[in-house]
Structure 1
Amino acid sequence: MSKALEYDEMPAAVHGFVDGWQSHDAEKVEALFTDWAVVSDEGRTHRGRDEIRAWIRESIDLFTTTLTFLRGREDKGMLGATFRLEGDFPGGVVQLEYRFRLDEEGRIVQLDFA
């Protein structure tokens, strides 16, 4: 069963990812992932620190966006944070859920975009 979460209830890694991405701070975002993490974004899977670093460096400055938090949830060990994104990307507005799995130390081991 899914548990609803407010944004301030989300772990530090979720806040760090969102804040780092919004401020285009690639190093801050990279530091949140484990060496063996996996990221799935736009039909591509990035595995391990080197591939994730490359994905961040290729993607973090592509668009300028404004995020509005809509809802959060915890379900079967995954944390979902749904945002409304508005920006200079094709279409200009989208609703997106970031799905995080964290390790015991609070670092990101899995990130999916839904």
Structure 2
Amino acid sequence: MDLPKIVSDLIKTQNSFDSVAYADCFSETAVVFDEGKTHNGKKEIERWIADSNERYKAIIKPLSFEENDTESILKAETSGNFEGSPIVLTYHMKIADELIQSLKFTG
């Protein structure tokens, strides 16, 4: 599967539980929407993913990727320490200047 570098980096950093490197995939003003909460800015995203990594130890395996004019969409099998694991999540991303500007998860 041919993925943009920033998406490959996001997967790699998630699967190695590197919260700092994960946050570095985002712009300073990025927004993440997850589990009904909004996380604003790189530092808040780093705290959110560090907590998520500690609780869930989620590993993602890409299944498909597509881009259109407004967003990039990654479907990935996500497994970890959570009920229902593994599940397929859809990662809706807006990417600009080789950084993620926004990320929203749907199931």
TM normalised by structure 1 equals 0.83
* Alignment partner of 1:110 is 2:97: no
- Tell me the SS of whatever aligns to 2:55: coil
1:11 aligns to 2:24 (yes or no): no
Structure 2: gaps (5+ residues): none
Number of aligned residue pairs: 106
Within 2, Cα distance between the matches of 1:36 and 1:85? 26
Q: Deviations over 1:46-102 (max 9, x none)?
A: 111222122122112222344332211112331111012233311122110111111
- Structure 1's unaligned 5+ residue stretches are 1-6
Please tell me the root mean square deviation across aligned C-alpha atoms, in Å: 1.5
Q: Is the 8 A contact 2:14 2:59 kept in 1?
A: no
SS in 1 for 2:84: coil
| Greater RCO (Cα-Cα under 8 Å, separation 6 or more) | 1
CA offset digits 1:12-68 (Å, max 9, x no partner): 111111110111111111111111001001111111122212212211222234433
